[in-house]
Structures are given as C-alpha cells and as structure tokens.
Amino acid sequence: MGERMRLDKLMALMGEGTRSEARALIRAGRVLVDGKPAADPAAQIDAGAADVRLDGRALCYRPTRHVMLNKPAGVLTAARDRSQRTVMDLLPPLYAAMGCMPAGRLDKDTEGLLILTSDGQLAHRLISPRHEVGKVYEARVDGLLAVADVEAFAAGLHIDDADGAFDARAAALTIVSSSPGESVARVRVTEGRYHQVKRMFAARGVSVTHLKRLSIGALSLDPALASGQWRELTDEEVALLKREAP
Ligand code: URA
C-alpha cells in the first residue's frame, strides 16, 4: 500500500491545480477513482495504487519531483523570502507542495543550472563536499588570466578575506579568452563555500563580473531552457545524478 491522502490533495499533487480547483472538478462529476465517479473530495485514496482519471485521462502521481532550472540573475536561492522573489516563485505551486527545495545555492546575481528536488537525500549528496560532485561555472572577470592562474587554481588557493579564511581544493581552470580588460574562463570546483568562485578569482586579483553554472556532475544545463525556464529531470538524468553521488 502506498501513501494515503485526501483526493483533492492528491489531485493538486498530480498537477491539477489547487485543492479548491480539484474539489470543483470532483463535484462536477469529472473525476473517476478506480472506475467509479468520485463525489467526496475528502475520501482517503492510496496515492500509489489508485487509478485516478479526469475526463477519462489517467493522472500520474510521482512521490518525488526533480527540476532543472535555468536560474536568472536577480532571484534568491531560497525556499521563501518576505520581500524578494525566490527560485520557488518561478515554479508552479505544486513543487513547493511536494517539498521541492533548491539543492545548493547560487548567489542572487549568479545564473544557470539549479536543481530543485523533493529528495532530501539526493540534495544532500549533491551539496556535500564529501561526495566531490564537480560543478562547472563560466566566469567573466575584469582582468587578465594567464597560465599562472591555471596553476594556482590547480595547486589549491588559500583564501583569506573579509568572509574568513580557508584552503580551497584544487580546481581546474580553463581559460576561454583573455585580455587585460576582460577574460572568460571555466572553472570546475568540488565544494561550495560562500561565494567560493568569486573569492577564488579575487585571490588572484580579478573580480567576477558575470557567473553562470553550466553543470553539476554529469548533468549539464539544457541549452533549450531560456533564463528563468525550467523542466523536470528525466529518469535517466536522475539516475545519472544518483550514480554521481552514491
Ligand atoms: N561561487 C560563487 O561565488 N557564487 C555562486 O553563486 C556559486 C559559486
């Protein structure tokens, strides 16, 4: 037997609008449960086993949800905030109701790949430095990058700034373009300290002017997702992530 819950709640978690919208559909006689018209929105239903249909269409209940978001700049990575827009505001309410939370944090001005999942264990594994899941960022900086920077990143930078001191793990820096006024590079890190990438570049004397996360482990940001767009992960992508952080 699966999880039991009210029919109106189950329909909301199946993505069929709010609970009150589900109640209206049930009262209008448009919902069948195991072949019989459902009349009671409060009826307790086995979410994993019941055959729930709306206008004849079978509805699907997935106990866990995983989302890939192309986070835009200007949005907070948080479950909620009193005054500012958060990444949860970019998703339909279904995902908050299912307990989806951001797996890790991108700064307000950072863009790119963010995973939101209702699987707390998966989120933890993706974030925990113990699992060493690589995260690749593209950074634009306001100065010259050279081989000495690649070597310094590879050796492990010592960070000591207003936010504290730590020894960053070795990180792979690939210079995409370089000039005295502006350079672009990709950097792969396996930990996620506060402002980690910005502080690593600052330790080399340049400031990050634009930062975008391109991948987490073997999962890359879907190029079809414009800034602010999202989609659910496929089963294959979820399996890929789970293999990455066993
Ligand atoms: N490193 C940063 O400095 N900022 C981010 O948002 C992510 C990594």
Atom of ligand 1 at shortest range from CA of 195: 3
- Check pocket membership of 197 for ligand 1, CB cut-off 6 A: yes
Could you tell me the residue ranges of all domains in the chain? 4-58, 66-130+218-244, 134-216
117, 103 in Cβ contact below 8 A? Answer: yes
106 CB less than 6 Å from ligand 1?
Answer: yes
Percent of the chain at pLDDT exceeding 90:
88
Please compute, for residue 107, the number of CA atoms within 13 A of its CA located in the half-sphere on the CB side. Answer: 16
Does the domain at residues 66-130+218-244 carry the CATH identifier 3.30.70.141?
no
Q: Which atom, in ligand 1's list, is nearest to the CA of 213? A: 7
Say if 4-58 and 66-130+218-244 have the same CATH topology. Answer: no
pLDDT band per the 50, 70, 90 thresholds, residue 19: very high
Do 30 and 21 contact (CB within 8 A), yes or no? no
The answer to whether residue 1 scores a pLDDT higher than 60 is no
Which residues does residue 115 pair with via DSSP β-bridges, in sequence order?
68
Q: What residue type is 167 in one-letter code? A: D
Please, what CATH class does the domain formed by 4-58 belong to? alpha beta
In residues, how long is the chain? Answer: 246
Nearest to 54 by CA among 89, 11, 20: 11
**Sole residue written with tokens 């890190």:** 189
Q: Can you say how many angstroms the Cα of residue 61 is from the centroid of all Cα atoms in its chain?
A: 21
How many whole angstroms from 13 Cα to the centroid of ligand 1? 33
Is residue 183 in contact with ligand 1, taking CB distance under 6 Å?
Answer: no
Each as own residue / partner, the long-range contacts of residues 127-132 (CB below 8 Å, 24 or more positions apart, any chain) are 127/103, 127/192, 128/245, 129/169, 129/190, 129/191, 129/192, 131/244, 131/245, 132/190
pTM as predicted: 0.89
Grouping H, G, I as helix, E, B as strand and the rest as coil, residue 95 is helix
Name 3's Cβ contacts closer than 8 Å, sequence gap at least 6. Answer: 46, 47, 48, 63
Residue 107 among the catalytic residues: yes
- Give pLDDT tens digits for 141-154: 999 999 999 999 99
Q: Which atom of ligand 1 is nearest to the CA of 198?
A: 3
Give the pLDDT band of residue 126 (cuts 50, 70, 90): very high
pLDDT in tens, 173-208: 999 999 999 999 999 999 999 999 999 999 999 999
Burial of 194 (0-12, 13-18, 19+ CB in 10 A): exposed
The rounded Å distance from CA 160 to ligand 1 centre is 16
Looking at domain 134-216, its CATH superfamily turns out to be Alpha-L RNA-binding motif (3.30.70.1560)
Question: Strand pairing of 111-117 and 183-189?
Answer: unpaired
